[in-house]
Structure formats: structure tokens, C-alpha cells
Structure 1
Amino acid sequence: MRKPYVLLLPLLLFLTLATPARAADNGSWSVYPVSSAVAARPYFYVSADPGRTIEDKVVVANKTDEPLTFRLYAADAYNTARDGGFAVKSLGEKMRGVGAWAELPKDRVTVPGRATVTVPFTVRVPEGAEPGDHPGAIVALDERVEQGDGGVALGVQRAVGARVYLQVGGPTLPALAVENVRISHDQPLIPGLGDSTATISYTLHNTGNVTLAPKVELKASGLFGRTLLTRDLKKLPSQLLPGQRVRLTERWRDAPQLDWTDVELTATAKGTEESAKASFVAVPWLVVGVVVAAIAAGVWLVIRLRRNPLGARGTARQAPTDPQSKVGQPAGG
């Protein structure tokens, strides 16, 4: 019986942020722009007005000893929901930018072992294209499915893409929003007997038309404006693409155990700044429960005593039952 496999995403894309003079690479093959007359380019960075056409060339390098055949296609880029990393759409997904505008002369290329193949391509920016950044990639996909080990084999297709940063001419608008701030708070039942942790989750949304490098500052204040925390957050996407949302979380250890806490997140990027707030009440619920129970018992006792004020003293002494007075009766009579 053949082992079933699961096709992931359906492929893994190695599109790490390229540093100068480094190509996108997974160890077996790499994809990068053809070198310019000045220097090697780590990625494509081009600009054009609506209606213009861009021509360029991409290099696919085979680092293995055997020939490899790749499916070539252009794709739009997006930020992953998990951590905001740079990713591109899979073959067959709906494309609206670079993935729809780029044209390759052929959709497959075979590269001999330890060799490179250079492929020209064009990007036709349509009339009426929205101004601003349109990131994407030229992707070389190995269509073979690699099966893993184990009772249920895991099937994976691998791909590498050279990033394309296309900017369409026109007005640019950097804009950033902080949305849906939520706070969950965990603390011990008895103050001081355990850790108190707050988890702050929020959505970072690029509402403009240019790529942003966001920074976020977290501030927390308690009663009477006391500063409890000031922190520059580190778990952020290095590039937040236009229109993209990323859901992020930040843990606050040693959060207050008895306080009214206001949390403010301030996101900044070049040309834009936006803030959002949320609050939570840190209360030791076991102590509160005991106090509430004691107050309730006291109120019940007061009400009972008011309804029956002599109940705790017994009954009053009864008056004589003989209505006749003995005044004036003769002695011994």
C-alpha cells in the first residue's frame, strides 16, 4: 500500500529577506536578478507609471550535480498571519499585482547541474493601476513531491523566489492602524502565591499604499497614572505590505495583581503614527469572594436581628391572671 501524503500550503517558499549581494537560496537552487552594470542585486526594485512596461531578467542557479526542472511563475506577495513574514501566493491563486502583470516567455525551465539559466521577463503595468507599492516575486518551483519519514509520509514541494518590489507612480500614502486590542490576564487566586501574566493581542494593519517598517511601543499605567511598563516590542514584521493585516501578541510577565491597568499601543512608521488603548482590572478573586461572602453573612445577620430583636433573650415575664385586687381584704379572711 502506498503511503498517503499531505501537500503543504501546497509548497514551502524560501523567501528570506535578502541582504546585499545575496540571492534567495534553499541550498539546492537559488533565484536572483541578473547583475546590473554596477553591482549584483539581491532583489528587483523597479518603478513605473501606469501603462508602462518593464523588462528585466532573472537567473535560476542549480547547485546540485543533477539537472533540475522548475515551474516558473510570477506571484503577488503578502504577510503571513503567524508572524508577518514575507510570503508569496501559490501557483493557481488569484493574482492582482505583479503575479498578474508579469509575463515569462516559458513556464518551465531545465537547469543543468552546477549551471545557471537566465530568463527574460516583462512587467506590463496596466492603465489605471493603483499607485504605490506592489510587491511580488518570480518563483522557481520544483514540482516533485518530497515524501518524509514516518507512518504517514509528509509531502512537500519546495520553491524559491526572487522578490520584486514594484512601485507604481502616483500619490503615496503611508498609513498604519492598531486594531482589536485584547488583553487576557492570568494571576494566582491568592496574591503573592504565583505569577501574574497579561497577554496583549492586537492587529497591525497597513491601511496605506506603501510598504512600512513598523515600530510599536507598549505603555501600561495603573491607578493615578502610575507608570507600570514601557517597552519597545520586538516581534514585528520587518516589512508590512500595503493592505496587509498581522495579528500579534505580547506577553507581560509580572503584571499587576491588584490594580486598574490601562494599556496603550503606539505604532509608528515613516510618515505615520497611530495608537489604541485597552484596560483590564487585576483583582485577587479568591480574596474578593471571601470578602463578599463575609459581607453577605453580616447583612443577613443584621436583617434577622431586626426582624426578631428579642429572639436571643427569651420571652418576657407574664402579668398576674387574677383581675381582682386584694386591697382592703381583712387579714386571715
Structure 2
Amino acid sequence: MNTTLLKILPRLVLWATTSVMAFGAFVLPASSASATVPPVPVPATDNTAQPIDPAQPDPAQADPAQVEIVQSWALAPAGSLDPSQAGNRPELSYSAQPGDLIDDAVTLFNYGNVQMVFRVYATDALNNAEGQFDLLPGDKVPTAAGSWVTVGQEKIVVPAGKQVTIPVKIAIPADAAPGDHVGAILASNSSPSIGESGQTVNLDRRTGTRLYIRVGGALAPELAVADVLTTYHQALNPLGGSATVTYRVENRGNVRLGGHVTGTVAGPLGLGRRTITLPDIPELLPGSALTVTARVADVSALMVAFTAISITPTGAADLGTITGSNGTDTTFAPPLALLLALLALVFGLLAWRAVQRHRAADLSLRTAAPDISQPGRESEPQPA
């Protein structure tokens, strides 16, 4: 019996071990990791052949023409410890002095399944007509912060699923003005495409990381409201008119700023005050401006409408309290429907009075005239 037990004991141990491992694989969830960017694929080290499902096509024998081409990439600030991995910096941001030289790096990741050719370059930032962050077109030469950057390698070929770390140098000019200077470092890929009219156009796709440089010196944050204009719109209901308010927000300082805006439209002595719902101002770069138009409903026609716009700067907590700005406008808001009704009433009264006067004059003439309705009747002589 002992001999039999010794023979089956290894099989029992093997069966128990296999069962426990299978149970653990079924019950325990797979671990996962998250990062700023997807991890770079690592080739498998297990050479064990995997079973192939006869119903599925063999990837090695797939027709290349039927394989979906995936082109996806990202450029991010390089990690401080491992330049081959993206760090936790959302952008390239520096505090510098005129004449400084900054050495850094960016990492370009090719997440697609095909080799890609990239152009890596720096450019200037700006605000578009909606106030959003924007960049110069790819064929425009930068003249501000983008011109301070030298990229280690402008044209780069990155294989599928790989990454390349590129050194960058930022030379702050000796005469750089104090304040914020903004740009970006981009990785672009150009490919031919067919336009709406059938012509071949060059499609430039690009992505990258923002570049913020604050040059030391006298900082002067200033966000101002200008050119407030109010247009009143009449309605049949004297209390139900509306107004269109247009104003301009200007960053007159040397620091990038956003702003919280409030506004009101009211009649004399604050009668019929209406609050204007206004959007917050996005971050405006120094020298940029944004024009905003808002519609205000239920504005009473009280002959005159007074508009007030106020802005409180945001986004520069490190500079302490920044004084806000105000803008005002006055416009004519007559109760046109009521005035027309009053005018009609006045004309009606004048017409009625004219008719009454005409009737009174006619009656007076009839009373004063002799009665000649009976023939042969002579008027009696008047006593001397």
C-alpha cells in the first residue's frame, strides 16, 4: 500500500497544483497600469508556440492590402529620469533670464503600425478669433518664442511602435522683454490627400507640446475692457425688448491672463436691471484681444439703457491681486410701441377737436343767418 501511495502521490500533487493555479487565474483580475501616454510595446520573450484557431486567418499570411493602416503619434516633454518615456510634465515651462541657455528634450512616440516620417520644429503661439490657443501655420517662420528653439534633429523616421528622444536647446535673447513668451514644439506628418474638387492637396497633421517661457523683469499684468457697444431692439411689448452688447477684452500687459466677466443693462436709476450671462475669457497671450457679443432678453424700454461690463483677471495667482477693469455704454431705448400709441392718441384728439370746432362754427353761422325759408315775408322795420 505504501508503494502504491508513493506512486500516485506525485500525480496528486501535480493535480492539486494545476487546480489551484487554474482557480487563481479565473478568480484574480488582471493587473493594469496607466501612464501619461500608452506604453511602448515590448517584444514577447516566450517562444512557446500558440495554438491557432482554424477559423481565424493566419496573420503572417494576411494580405498587406487588407491590413488597416494605423497612424498615431504624440510628442511630449521627455521624462527627467528616463528620457525614453514621457514624463509627468504637461508642457515645457521655464522661468529664465535674458541670455540664458536651456537644454531639454522631447520624446516622439509612434503608436501606429507603420513607419512614419516626421518633421519636428518649434513655432509661435497666438490666440485665434475665438480666443483659443492656436499656432502659426507650418509654412510660417516663427519670430518670437519659436525662433529661440533649436531642435536636435528636424527630420526623423520612427519605426512602428517605437519612440525617439530629441534634444532641444532654447536660447533666450539678451534683449528679451520681461513677461510671458509662448510657443510650441511640434511633430508633423505630411501626406497627399484628395480635395473637394478632386485636386491633390498636402495634408499636414501635427501634434506637440506647449512652450511657456517667463523672462524675469518687471511684470505688468493688465486685462482691460474696451469698446462697449449696446444696440436696443424694439418689441411690441414695451417691457419685452432686447439688447445686443458687444465689447472687447484686451491683454495690455506682458503676462498671459484669463478673466471672469459680469455685466448688466439697466434703465435710469437702475430700473429694470438685467444681468448679462457672459462666458469666461480664455487665457489671452500678451498683446492679444477678443471681441465678445451677447444677447440680453427682456430689456425694458425706459428711454435710456445703461450697460456696464466688468472683468476680473484670472490665471496669475503667483502675481497676487490684479486690479480688474470696467467698461460702460449708454444707448437710446425708447418705448417705440408706446410712443406710437401716444402719437396716435394725440392725432386722434386733434382730429376730434377739429371736428368739434367745425361743428360749432357751422352751428354759429346757422344761428346768425336770417330765416328766408318762408316766401313773401318781409322783415319788419326796426324802430329808430
TM-score band, normalised by the shorter chain?
0.7 to 0.9
- Alpha carbons 1:184, 1:199 under 8 Å: kept: yes
Q: Name the structure 1 match of 2:90.
A: 42
1:234 aligns with: 279
Q: Of the candidates 290, 308, 328, which is equivalent to residue 246 of structure 1?
A: 290
Rounded Cα–Cα distance in structure 2 between residues aligned with 1:139 and 1:296: 73
Whichever structure has more helix as a proportion of its residues is 2
Deviation of 1:208 after TM superposition, in Å, equals: 0.2
Unaligned runs of 5+ in 1: 1-20, 319-324, 329-333
Task: Identify if the C-alpha distance between structure 1 residues 137 and 327 changes in structure 2 by more than 3 Å, giving closer, same or farther.
Answer: closer
> Which position in structure 2 is the counterpart of 1:317?
369
* Residue 113 (structure 1) aligns with: 160
Once the 2 structures are TM-superposed, how far is the Cα of residue 298 of structure 1 from its aligned partner? 4.9
Give, as a single letter, the amino acid of the residue that structure 1 aligns with 2:150.
E
Equivalent pair of 2:92/2:212 in contact (CA under 8 Å): yes
Conserved 8 A contact 1:104-1:122: yes
* TM-score, normalising length: structure 1: 0.76
**Residue 291 of structure 1: SS of its match in structure 2?**
helix
Q: Kindly state the Cα deviation for residue 99 of structure 1 after the two structures are TM-superposed.
A: 1.5
Aligned equivalent of 1:31: 75
Q: Which stretch of structure 1 is more off in the superposition, 294-303 or 34-43?
A: 294-303
Q: Which one of the candidate residues 326, 329, 348 is aligned to 1:278?
A: 329
Distance 1:294 1:255 in 2: 25
Does structure 2 retain, via aligned residues, the 8 Å contact 1:73–1:91? no
In the alignment, which residue of structure 1 is the partner of 2:265?
Answer: 220
Could you tell me whether the CA contact under 8 Å between 1:146 and 1:157 is conserved in 2?
no
| Cα deviations by residue, 1:90-113 (Å, 9 ceiling, x for unpaired) | 123252321111111332222211
Tell me, yes or no, if structure 1 residue 268 matches structure 2 residue 320: no
Matched residue SS, 2:324: strand
Inter-partner Cα distance in structure 1 for 2:221 and 2:323? 6
By how many angstroms is 1:78 displaced?
0.9
User: What displacement does 1:253 show?
Assistant: 3.1
Is 1:87 equivalent to 2:134 in the alignment? yes
Match of 1:157 in 2: 204
State the shift of 1:44 in Å: 0.5
Match of 1:5 in 2: none
Q: Report the secondary structure of 2:184's partner residue.
A: strand
Query: Shift in Å at residue 52 of structure 1?
Result: 1.5
For 1:287 and 1:232, how far apart are their aligned partners in 2?
A: 28
Opposite residue 144 of structure 1, the aligned amino acid is S
Secondary structure at the counterpart of residue 152 of structure 2: coil
Alpha-carbon distance, 1:255 to partner: 3.2
Report the count of equivalent residues. 299
Task: Deviation per CA, 1:130-175: give whole Å up to 9, x if none.
Answer: 1100011001122224447x66689643211200011111110001
Please give the residue correspondences for 1:1-333 in structure 2 after superposition, counting only pairs within 5 Å: 22=36, 28-37=72-81, 40-82=88-130, 84-147=131-194, 156-191=203-238, 196-226=241-271, 228-230=273-275, 233-237=278-282, 239-258=283-302, 260-269=304-313, 270-296=321-347, 298=349, 310=361, 313-314=364-365, 317=369
Say which structure is richer in strand. 1
Contact 2:303–2:332 (CA under 8 A) maintained in structure 1: yes
SS at match of 2:328: strand
RMSD over equivalenced CA pairs, Å: 3.5
Identify the structure with bigger relative contact order (alpha carbons < 8 Å, sequence gap 6+): 1
Change (3 A) 1:289 1:312: farther
Which 5+ residue runs of structure 2 have no aligned equivalent? 1-34, 38-70, 314-320, 371-380
Identical-residue share of aligned pairs (%): 30
d(CA) in 2 for partners of 1:74 and 1:290? Answer: 66
**Cα separation, partners in 2 of 1:112 and 1:78, compared to 1, 3 Å:** same
> Could you list the per-position Cα deviations for residues 177-234 of structure 1 after superposition, in whole angstroms to 9, with x for gaps in the alignment?
1111122343433447xx6443322111100000112111123333322462346633
Q: Is the 8 A contact 2:238 2:336 kept in 1?
A: no
CA distance in 2, matches of 1:97, 1:89: 11
Q: In structure 1, how many angstroms separate the alpha carbons of the residues matched to 2:250 and 2:36?
A: 30
CA distance in 2, matches of 1:59, 1:313: 107
List structure 1 runs of 4+ shifted beyond 6 angstroms.
150-154, 300-309, 325-328
Pick which of 250-259 and 111-120 moved more.
250-259
Aligned equivalents of 1:160, 1:127: Cα separation in 2: 30
Q: Contact 1:222 / 1:228 at 8 angstroms: preserved in 2?
A: yes
TM-score, normalised to structure 2's length? 0.67
- Displacement of 1:47 in angstroms is 1.8
Which amino acid in the other structure matches residue 281 of structure 2? L
Q: Is the 8 A contact 2:180 2:254 kept in 1?
A: yes
Residue 256 of structure 1 and its aligned partner are, at CA, apart by: 3.0
C-alpha separation in 2, matches of 1:327 and 1:256 = 75
Paired AA for residue 289 in structure 1: L
> CA separation in 2, counterparts of 1:312 and 1:154?
93
